[in-house]
Structure 1
Amino acid sequence: MILTINRSSLLIALIVMLTGALQAKVRLPHLISDGMVLQRDQPIRMWGWADAGEKVTVRFSGQKKETKATEGGEWEVSFPSMKEGGPYTVQMNGENSIILEDVYIGDVWACSGQSNMELTMARVQPMFPWEFEQEARPAIRYFDVPDAYDFSHLQMDTPGGEWIQVDKEHISQFSAVAYFFAKRLNEKYDVPIGLINASVGGSPIQSWIRKEELKRFPEDFAEVEKFRNPDLIKQIEKQDRERISTWQKAVWQKDKGYAQPAAPWSSSDVEPDDWGEMERLTLLPLKDDRAVNGVYWFRKEFELDDPQVSSLSAKLLMGTMIDSDSTYVNGQLVGSTGYRYPPRRYNVPAGVLRQGKNVLAVRLISERGQGGFVEEKPYQLEVGDQVIDLKCDWHYQLGASMPALPGQTFVRWKPLGLYQAMMAPVQQFPVKGVIWYQGESNTGNPSIYAEQMKALINGWRKAWDCKDLPFLYVQLPNFMEVSESPQESNWAVLREKQRTVAKDVSHTGMAVAIDAGEANDIHPLDKKTIGDRLALLAFALAYGEKDGPFSGPSLERGKVQEEVIELTFETAGSRLETSDGRAPKGFAVAGEDGDFHWADARIEGEKVILSSPMVKSPKTARYAWADNPERANLVNTEGLPASPFEISVE
């Protein structure tokens, strides 16, 4: 018994000693790590954690700073500001030693928003293949903050992440918008650029607003209090998992495509004799004007003449599908995607294709709404020098009809959570400015977006303790079908709210993007145009350049002159023009009744004159007021587009 007690006591003592030793180790936030970029021309702050009272020594650029950890185990030191340069080494000593290599001094930009800021270079590779062949650019660094949320506590460290540089191995991981933005800055100023990206696809603005400012929005703040309960979150997520799992299991069990295990519909031997025909890939047909959800099978035969084709690999482009798919070539699975947005780019290994008849089969699952294939996307097979068009002449069959899958509760999108877990840790790190691309998820209620955005900017500037921190953002691009007549549009309303912020809040800049979107894709590929326009704004607002223009024509004022409206624009020394050399389009006017009609427009110097035979006494003018304002063509000499707007005139 005594021996047992003595051994137990020794074991406990050993555990205490080891635990103490582990706690005593100097620990750093993930942002302070190998390859980081520190902000030039500002005091350089380094911080971390250690055992209470532990002495910490930091050596950097020939200087040494010493401090002790507080009772809470926190420590920090500050070095004088430095000019751009690198690479440097940082050495930290406490009970342990840490050496950080490859550290640069330059400009750091925080990047945030939703999926269009997340969208990586890998996604846009087909549009910009040359970017992937360039030599390494060690002066451009990127840190992606892992997704996380916290409704209860303000986090001081990101949940993970590492700094990477532009090279062939890592460029595909960069945010495309952030990459093109940084590339333009680096080329112009020849300083290292660090990018810290805290973005989450689908996130509304309220998930990124600080707690102090969020209190101005009672409904959102009530949600915060609700989701501070971890048991509620576990319950909701458990119910979601069970509901989705039950639905998916039912799909598999009911799918007639798997009714005969020896002859699944993915097999190249199945004959689609009683299948329906689809002349051209498009959305699934409706039944009594309603979508039929469940699983569908599609089949297409195509011929290959090359006797050596079996030795060749190929690239299969299957556009974009709603919602998920599994795609087979000659019975072999070549690719699968679990949700609607990513482009289907599948590699077909050598040995799969064959001379003569080949069979392409797609198992498509429609969860809710009208599923199918998104038109005007690439559907083709690239093998050798041959490109085979796959858009036409398909057969299809319903494998299983299902009730619509109820939507998931995305807890991570709830107010405050993303700010506290992902952005608050970034705000410990000094930055040059912020770039922001968000808004799509707030088009359901755009009326308060300007106030939400002002609250976000104000709160972030306070957190960084910089009242004039440059805040550059992207106005929503063109999206969805083009309307042939003037329309009401929540997307247009939100763009107007974004324009209001640029007018009302100092040191902000808005990149107009109504010519850089895609009608059939909420994630347009042309992120270079967006990054370049953000960089132009940075030239003026962050770097003090004077020789503009840095954005397109900006509406200054409007007035009524008899039966016409006269709009005056600020052109920053440029001129008003149209992108196609024709008369200005995309303008509409309304009278007291509020009914809008297309307006005839002409340019006179820095003014645009509007009139309409349908409106004798105009009261309101709009420009590019639509989901997809394809008609809009007002630009400056440099080709930068004017922002959409609405103005009441007298």
Structure 2
Amino acid sequence: MKQVLAFTLFLLLPTPLVSAAELKLASVFSDHMVLQREQSVPVWGVANAGESITVKFANQTKTTTADENGKWQVELDSMKANAEPQSLVVESGKEPNRVELTDVLVGEVWLASGQSNMEWEMQMKADSKADIPNSTHSNLRLFAVPLTTALTPQDDVDANWTRSSPETSASFSAIGYYFGLRLHEELGVPVGMIQSAWGGTRIEPWTSVDGFEAVPALRSEADRIRSQTPGTPEYRKSQEAHLQQVQQWTESLKTALQQNQAAPPLPTQPTTLAKSHGTPTALYNAMIHPLVPMAIRGAIWYQGESNHGEGLGYVDKKKALLASWRNAFKQPELPFYFVQIAPYQYGEEDPEILARFWVAQRECMKIPNTGMAVITDIAELKDIHPQHKKEVARRLSLWALADTYGQADIDPSGPLYANHKVDGSAIRVMFSNADSGLTSRDGKPLSDFEIAGIDGNFHPATATIDGNQVVVQSPNVPEPKQVRFGWNKLAMPNLMDKDGLPVCSFHTHWPIDPTLGYNLALGCTWESSDPNAWGWNSGLTDGVWGNRNPQCFATGVSDEFPKSVTIDLKKTQTINLVRFGVPDVGSTKTVAISVSEDGKTFQEVGTHSFGQGKAERAVIEFDDTTARFVRLTYVDHHSGLAGGYNNTFAFTSEAEVYRAK
């Protein structure tokens, strides 16, 4: 037993680092690669500790010494583009070990990353498959990172650079290929494309723990990751605390057994991160970090389908991703151009969820040195992988050519909502990036415009182009306040600029209502007099006017009326307007709104009776009132059923509270 214990302790002791006996370049270096022009170019690898290293390329000779772990790195001076194949030679020691890479070019290097729409291979769609026989381009080089995961940052990947050809392009990212080819043709220099993408992945696995740390709202996520990652001090601390709890539990168990009492529960072991493509940092560690600190020009990104239900929460995650990549590649202004995901059915999901995500993606454009390609006009509503990858790549390349390469004659952005004003019974909408003029893509009347009054009940609207503006109106809304465009997961609007780029979807009053101000109830808690036991116990203050669980709230099925739900605004404040609504299911009829400072004495400020079987919204306006609590009282219900639900459920799609000016 002592021998076994001694051997176990020996295995747990830290082992000394063993330096590499063989001279090696990092795996991202191989024959046929492209080195980034007009930047200093890191070249790195491993050798014996303390060994002298010499790197030769393009009439440059750089020397260094491998550190105690055998790692070494030099930086080549900035170089001009060169399409003539050259050799990169690395030598070490008195009797040199020697590594030589051949057919190395100097040009532009871009990283293409994201989920399946970026990973989607040339051979997988008819239009891109047709281009494979003509994909021989000696100065377009491809590097595909294999799908792999890791819990800690890795130094190498099993991949090599290749020349673009029918044999190599067929399994390469279609968007990566077309983007690289367009840059090669427009700039007249070699281009290297690095594909590092994995279908179905969220943004979190592509982000380093330092990236999460860089965004204040996500620092708790960084702490969680560190505490669950083997090898970190935080992980050791949490496991040691668990060990102490287990030891205490052992003593408690002995005592319980001696006294014939119930055994205490075993303490739950702290979580250890799973090695999975869904684990935060796992893809950064395995598929991005091995490329670091390679000199690259920028990155293109097509991802979001797996995060599309998060709304504005995605913005902080995109900030974290960019912080991690820009820090790792030592380029604080690394260009980053991304695709706004396409319209798609997404099953029975609320049709506004995707629209809110589009707003989040547009918000990401406020991060410096980013650009967004809108593709609402080339979607395939029943296929989450739209076919027209060449056009997606072209729109991404417009951003690179305009913003990265300074081609001032290109406006890479389609028109973006800028402002609006009420003009009698119509609303006039203004756009930025519309200098080329507005037009209808198919020559038909403009589609997918809706207009609403203060109650937020939207109606289909007619829209006409007036110069670089659009005038929107509806006979059903004589006093319009707000407009939305393309606000549906299936919307493929026909409004575009005369350069052929679609107008981005928008909502003049989401996420913040410019007329009413901030929704004071957003994210607040509540109590129901008749709690729902079937999962419809959320969604009341989540900012989503949903028709289904979990975006829609409901009371329980008790037949005792009136019943109520009371929202706690967290603090006493002045309010004067409540906006609320019912979904297209259920039998909710009359709802009374009351307010209170102490949660005990309530003052009714208004009531509204809804129809049945149709999603509706209502507004109760009242004089400025000091309150902390807002109560919705369900006075009665329709006798019939809608959506197959018992008529004693009281449904509410959303409740908003404002101090309107």
TM-score range, shorter chain: 0.5 to 0.7
- Tell me, yes or no, if structure 1 residue 611 matches structure 2 residue 476: no
How many angstroms apart in 1 are the aligned matches of 2:73 and 2:227? 35
Task: Look up the match of 2:63.
Answer: 66
Residues 449-477 of structure 1 deviation map (CA, whole Å, 9 limit, x = unaligned): 11211222233222222222211000011
Structure 1: how far apart are the matches of 2:320 and 2:300? Answer: 16
Change (3 A) 1:225 1:53: closer
Q: Secondary structure at the match of 2:24?
A: coil
Check the 8 A contact 1:108/1:195 in 2, yes or no: yes
Separation of aligned partners in 1, 2:503 and 2:468: 12
- Cα pair 1:223 1:415 within 8 Å, conserved: no
Distance 1:121 1:645 in 2: 32
Determine the structure 1 residue equivalent to 2:102. Answer: 101
Contact 2:116/2:197 (CA < 8 Å) preserved in 1?
Answer: yes
Ranges of 4+ aligned residues in structure 1 off by more than 6 Å: none
Structure 1 counterpart of 2:143: 143
The TM-score with structure 1 as length reference comes to 0.65
Secondary structure of the 1:415 match is coil
Please give the residue correspondences for 1:217-366 in structure 2 after superposition, counting only pairs within 5 Å: 217=218, 220-221=221-222, 224-225=225-226, 227-229=228-230
2:498: which partner in 1?
637
- Secondary structure in 1 matching 2:312: helix
- Name the structure 1 match of 2:318: 453
Q: Is 2:35 the partner of 1:38?
A: yes
CA separation in 1, counterparts of 2:439 and 2:226? 52
Q: What are the equivalent positions in structure 2 for 1:199-210 lying under 5 Å apart?
A: 199-210=197-208
C-alpha deviation, 1:548, in angstroms: 2.3
Structure-2 separation of matches of 1:600 and 1:176: 38
Residues 608-636 of structure 1, C-alpha deviations (whole Å, 9 max, x = no match): 11112222333332111111213x11101
SS at match of 1:412: coil
Q: Where does residue 272 of structure 1 map in the other structure? A: none
Q: What code does the residue aligned with 1:515 have?
A: D
Structure 1: 5+ residue runs without aligned partners?
A: 1-18, 231-408
Matched, 1:491 2:354: yes
Matching residue of 2:21:
24
Query: Of 390, 397, 418, which aligns to 1:528?
Result: 390
Q: Read off the aligned partner of 1:491 and give its amino acid letter.
A: L
Residues 462, 226 of structure 1: CA spacing in aligned structure 2 closer, same or farther, 3 A cutoff? Answer: closer
Q: Which residue of 1 aligns with 2:237?
A: none
Name the counterpart of 1:181: 179
Q: Is the 8 A contact 1:146 1:158 kept in 2?
A: no
CA shift at 1:229, angstroms? 4.8
Cα distance change on mapping 1:219 and 1:63 into 2, 3 Å: closer
- State the AA in 1 paired with 2:360: K
Distance apart, 1:593 and its partner CA: 2.2
Asked whether the equivalents of residues 548 and 572 of structure 1 are also in contact (C-alpha less than 8 Å), the reply is no
- Structure-2 change in CA distance of 1:213 and 1:72 (3 Å): same
List aligned pairs for 1:327-476, cutoff 5 A: 411-476=276-341
SS in 2 for 1:522: coil
Partner of 1:115: 116
SS of the residue corresponding to residue 413 of structure 1 reads coil
Cα distance in 1, alignment partners of residues 480 and 137 from structure 2: 55
Taking the aligned partners of 1:419 and 1:539, their CA distance within structure 2 comes to: 27
Cα deviation for residue 540 of structure 1 reads 0.8
Matches within 5 A, 1:577-592: 577-592=439-454
Counterpart among 516, 525, 532 of residue 378 in structure 2? 516
Identity over aligned residues, as a percent?
Answer: 36
Greater mean deviation of Cα atoms: 555-564 or 27-36: 555-564
Q: Aligned partners of 1:28, 1:482: CA distance in 2, in Å?
A: 48
Please list the CA deviations of residues 4-46 of structure 1 after superposition, one character each: whole Å capped at 9, or x if unmatched.
xxxxxxxxxxxxxxx99x9321111111111111100001221
Task: Report the CA distance between 1:210 and its aligned residue.
Answer: 2.2
Structure 2 Cα separation of the partners of residues 135 and 498 of structure 1: 32
Contact 2:218 2:316 in 1 (8 A): no
CA distance in 1, matches of 2:333, 2:304: 23
SS at match of 2:181: helix
- Give the number of the structure with larger relative contact order, counting CA–CA contacts within 8 Å between residues 6 or more apart: 1
Instruction: Summarize the Cα distance change of 1:111–1:128 in structure 2 as closer, same or farther, 3 Å threshold.
Output: closer
Partner of 1:235: none
Alpha-carbon contact 1:549-1:572 (below 8 Å) kept: no
Structure 2 spans left out of the alignment, 5+ residues: 1-16, 232-273, 516-661
SS of the residue 1:573 aligns to: coil
1:166 Cα deviation (Å)?
A: 1.2
Instruction: Specify the structure having the higher radius of gyration (Cα).
Output: 2
> CA 1:67–1:121 in structure 2 vs 1: closer, same or farther (change >3 Å)?
same
Q: Are positions 1:52 and 2:53 aligned together?
A: no
CA contact (8 A) 2:135 2:169 kept: no
| Pair 568,421 (structure 1): closer, same or farther in 2 beyond 3 Å | same
Q: 1:227 to 1:146 in 2, by over 3 A?
A: farther
